[in-house]
Every structure is written in structure tokens, then in C-alpha cells.
Structure 1
Amino acid sequence: MCDVLVVDDDFMVARAHERVVLQQPGFRVVGVAHSGAEALQLITELRPCLVLLDIYLPDMTGLDVIRRAREADHDVDFLVLSAAREAETIGAALQGGIVSYLLKPFKITELQSRLHGYAERRRLLTRPGQISQSDLDQALGATGSVAVIPPLPKGLSKETASLVEYTLVDSETDVAASECAETLGLSRVVARKYLEHFVHTGQAGVTLRYGQAGRPQRRYGWLGVNR
């Protein structure tokens, strides 16, 4: 079992990441931090094997967290989930020994893939005997380094699409466009555009709920994670 610490200053994003980890076999979330200082404290106290780390934190950068954890000789891996796209920042993170770097906003399936690849790499490196080049190539390739989602249709923003995605992932049941709109402070029409986009790309499913009168209500559920 791999113990994971989730670090993100956005409570909603942190919760969404936590839910993805909890639905991934072989992983469990042992803590959630919303600042760099809190992250370092929990790394010391909880000894996680993996930290899902944002670069932009209120008191220090994720790079500072990585550096201080290394200086304290903590045996922990970092998977960076951040909107930071500067080559210097990404290069510094890679030099700090991170296992992967996902650019926000990203598909939930991309995070699932990175977690699966990380688990495979841990399995490979902890088994007895020698490792073949093909096994090593497969393990290193599975974790990846940087991933970006494909462009959205014209008129849709990546930031709002990410929020709608997190809303679907975070919901215990399917949601209507009006419910999604109320949660995010959007109009129902705008929310429905994003929801229908996810249906079109196969990331969400839609069902019809029939009432006593009027049109059936379209309700959306996320398909990118196992429910």
C-alpha cells in the first residue's frame, strides 16, 4: 500500500485529487495539506511514499518543499500537479527528482495513468533479482514527465472545464446542468456546454430522468474514474 499526501492550496482541487487517489488500487491518502509548511510537517509526521504537489503555494513554492524534504533526508517521491509552465520551474522540479509532472488542467485519466505507472515502478524496484532493460524502459515510460490536455472547442476555457470536471468527479451521484451551474456560479447554459463536451469526448455519460411533466432532465456522471 502506498501512502499519499495531497498538497494544494485550493480546497476543491485537493479534494478532487484525494478522491482520485482513493479510487486507485494500492493507494491511500494519509493527509491533505494546503501550504508548504503544512506539507513539510505532514511529510515528517506521516512519512508518505508519494506527495501530489502543487508548485503555487501561499507560503513557499513546491520547489522549496522538494528541496527542504531532500535536505531533511526524507525518503519520499513527488508527483507535481501544477499550472506552472515555465521551463525553468519544470527543469528545477525534474532536477529535484520528481517522478512526474502534470500541467493543470489535466484529464483525471492522466493522473490515474501516472499513479498506475508509479505503482508499477515501485513494484519493479522492490522485487528481488535483476532488472532487464525492457522492464526498466517500461517502468520509466509509464510514469511520464509532462502531459497536456488537447485544446478545447472554441469558446470553452481550460480553467472552467477543469472546475466542471472536478465537480463531476467530486459528486457521489450524477448531476444536472443546473446543479453544476449553482455549484460553480455559472449559468445553466454555460455549464451544459462543458458537460456536453465531456459527453462528446467520452469522459462523461448522460442519463435521462423523467418527471411527471415536461422534458426529461439530462444528468451527467464522470466516466474517467471508477465509481
Structure 2
Amino acid sequence: MIGVMLVEDDPLTLELHRTLVERVEGFRVTAECTSAREAVTALRDPAVMARVDLALVDVTLPDGSGLDLVRGLRATGARVDVFAVTAVHDADTVRRMAALGVAHYLVKPFTAGDLRARLEQYRAYHRQATDTGSLPTQHEIDALFGALRPVSRTSTPKGLSQETLDLVARTLRAADGLSAAETGTRLGLSRVVARRYLEHLVGVGAAERAARYGTPGRPVSEYRWRS
């Protein structure tokens, strides 16, 4: 399970975020903070931080700034990833958060699907980071750095739906290899349609295709997310 810390001062929003996070397979909320002071205390507690892989941090808190919290987190050397989850989206704040290495910057209000998509991306990233050895190959490094990058909207060719492409990409990220038929079954698409989207992902370098052996008849093409 991926442990998540929520840093949010509004009780209703905190409850909503807890519910949304725990609806996504593989995640659970292991810490909650409603102020900067409470978050700082948590960051200094090894027992708390041992249960946290990802922190969802609001930028505006009643007694401090989420920016300062992320700086403090980085200063401790803790290997905790961060999503900025906030209504603040001025260019300076976004640049500062990016410089601090936040994995995603999610602007309120957002939909449950927006958060789910980013959590599923993070789950794929976390799995790759865990599986990668102490001396990763260049291919493994490229895949790890690419795991949190969404498929570019400008790359969607004529005849393909961006919404369906995003759905196929999220499904592939969360799976350990899928055929076109398996992808179609999961998403309610025909095998031929699913294959078009999967081949597009291969074409733009987001996925890779390999032959799957071990079943009767001809080998089946299997697709895996890479970057």
C-alpha cells in the first residue's frame, strides 16, 4: 500500500480528499495535518514519516505556506513525493513548486477523475521505482522519469479520441502488460479499436510492444507502459 499524508486546513475538503484517495486501489491515508505547525511536527517524527510515501499539500494554510513545508521536507532528506493540491496557481508559485520537485500540481476545484488519474500515474511510477535495481539501465531510468508524464494532447491523431487515449494510457500504466483484447474488455472497446490506441502509444514512445508466448496458437502482442 502507498501511504498518503494529507495537509489541508478545511475539514470538509480534508474528508473529501481522504475519500477520493482511498477509493483508488493501492492507496491509504496514513497521516492528516490541518496546519503548517502540525505538518512540521509530523515531518520530524520518524514513526509518522515511515508510513508516508506521498504527501498532498495545500499551498495556503492558516499558519504558514505549503511551499515552506515542501522545502522543509526536502531539507530532511526524506524520500516522500509531493502533489501540490491548491487553489493557488500564479506563475511564481507554480515555478517554485516545480523547482522543489513536486510530482503534480493540481488546481482546485478538480474532479475525482483528475485526482484518480494522477494517483494512478503515481502508482505506476512507485511500482517502477520499487522494482528498479540499484544500478538501473538507461531504459529503466527513462521509464521511471516518464511514468508521471501524461500523454501529450497535441499528439492525438485524427480519428482518435483524447479522452479514450487518456483512459487507455491510464489502464496500461496500472497493468502489468495487456493485449489489445484484454484492454478492450476492460474498457468496453473492440479489440481492433483498442489496438489502434495501443499502437499509437507505441508510436509516440509511451508504450512498448513485445510478443507474449506460452499460450496455444500464435504469440499475442503484449503492450506495456514505458514513458
Normalised-by-shorter TM-score class: 0.5 to 0.7
| Cα distance in structure 2, aligned partners of 1:118 and 1:136 | 10
The aligned counterpart of 1:24 is: 24
Aligned sequence identity (%)? 31
Letter in 1 for 2:87: A
Q: Indicate the structure whose relative CO is greater, using CA pairs within 8 Å and at least 6 residues apart.
A: 1
1:131/1:15 Cα in 2 relative to 1: closer, same or farther (>3 Å)?
Answer: farther
- Asked if residue 119 in structure 1 is aligned to residue 91 in structure 2, the reply is no
| Cα distance in structure 2, aligned partners of 1:29 and 1:140 | 21
Letter in 1 for 2:76: A
Q: 1:122: how far off?
A: 1.1
Deviation >4 Å, runs of 4+? none
Question: How high is the TM-score relative to the length of structure 2?
Answer: 0.59
1:143/1:75 Cα in 2 relative to 1: closer, same or farther (>3 Å)?
Answer: farther
The answer to whether the 8 Å contact 1:118/1:142 transfers is no
Query: Unmatched 5+ residue regions in structure 1?
Result: 145-227
The aligned counterpart of 2:143 is: 135
Residue correspondence of structure 1 range 139-150 to structure 2 within 5 A: 139-142=147-150
| Cα distance in structure 2, aligned partners of 1:111 and 1:2 | 15
Q: What number of residue pairs does the alignment pair up? A: 144
Q: 1:70: how far off?
A: 1.4
- Asked if residue 55 in structure 1 is aligned to residue 59 in structure 2, the reply is yes
The aligned counterpart of 1:200 is: none
1:8/1:2 Cα in 2 relative to 1: closer, same or farther (>3 Å)?
Answer: same
2:90 to 83, 86, 91: 86
1:63/1:3 Cα in 2 relative to 1: closer, same or farther (>3 Å)?
Answer: same
Q: 1:136: how far off?
A: 4.2
| Cα distance in structure 2, aligned partners of 1:138 and 1:77 | 15
Deviates more, 1:31-40 or 1:98-107: 31-40
The aligned counterpart of 2:79 is: 75
Question: How high is the TM-score relative to the length of structure 1?
Answer: 0.59
The answer to whether the 8 Å contact 2:129/2:144 transfers is no
The aligned counterpart of 2:185 is: none
Query: Unmatched 5+ residue regions in structure 2?
Result: 153-227
1:9/1:21 Cα in 2 relative to 1: closer, same or farther (>3 Å)?
Answer: same
What is the DSSP-based 3-state SS (H/G/I as helix, E as strand, rest coil) of the residue aligned with 1:16?
helix
The answer to whether the 8 Å contact 1:51/1:78 transfers is yes
The aligned counterpart of 2:178 is: none
- Asked if residue 107 in structure 1 is aligned to residue 111 in structure 2, the reply is yes
Letter in 2 for 1:7: V
Letter in 1 for 2:143: D
| Cα distance in structure 2, aligned partners of 1:76 and 1:134 | 20
The answer to whether the 8 Å contact 1:79/1:101 transfers is yes
The answer to whether the 8 Å contact 2:59/2:86 transfers is yes
C-alpha offsets along residues 49-86 of structure 1, whole Å, 9 cap, x if unaligned? 11110000011110010011112222211101101111
Residue correspondence of structure 1 range 29-44 to structure 2 within 5 A: 29-44=29-44
| Cα distance in structure 2, aligned partners of 1:89 and 1:3 | 26
| Cα distance in structure 2, aligned partners of 1:17 and 1:143 | 25
